Structure formats: structure tokens, C-alpha cells
Amino acid sequence: MTCTAIPTSRLLNLIPDLPSDDGMFGNSRVLGRILQKLEMAAGFKIAVWLRGQGGTGKEAFGNLIHSQSSCRNGRLV
């Protein structure tokens, strides 16, 4: 079995119904709870510390929080 990496931009073109607005998609209860908590965090003007092992999506979740926050037009630190 061989695996091929597909760039996200190409994946979005291959699957037309794939949501691309926030970069996160799925329908599990766990992901739903995580996204609710991230949305809550974005509503406050606070620093958020994301921690976890490499490759777990910390940067993607950080970008998601920033894109939904009142600071979205500013720099992500």
C-alpha cells in the first residue's frame, strides 16, 4: 500500500462540498465540543495556550480561534 500526500488546496478542489471556511470539518461529538470551546475562547480578549504533541493540530486550532476573535484583523501571535 502506498500513501500520497495531497495538498489542501487540491483536496478542496477535488471535493466540492468540503467546507473551507474555517479549515475544520467533521461530525464527531468530541470535535463538536472542542469547536464549541474554541468559539467560546474566541469571544474573550484573552491569551489562549494550546499544548499537545507535535502534529495534533495546535496551529490549526490557534488559527481558528484567531479567525473568530475580535482581533482577527490583527497579527496572530
pLDDT digits (tens, 9 = 90+) for 32-67: 888 888 888 889 888 889 898 888 888 888 888 888
DSSP 18: S
The reported pLDDT for the residue numbered 75 is 86
Given a contact cutoff of 8 angstroms between Cβ atoms, the answer to whether 60 and 20 are in contact is: no
All three cell numbers of 61, joined, read 486550532
Helices (H), 1-77: 8-14, 29-42, 58-68
Higher pLDDT, 19 or 24: 24
Given a contact cutoff of 8 angstroms between Cβ atoms, the answer to whether 50 and 60 are in contact is: no
Alpha-carbon 66 to chain mean position: 10
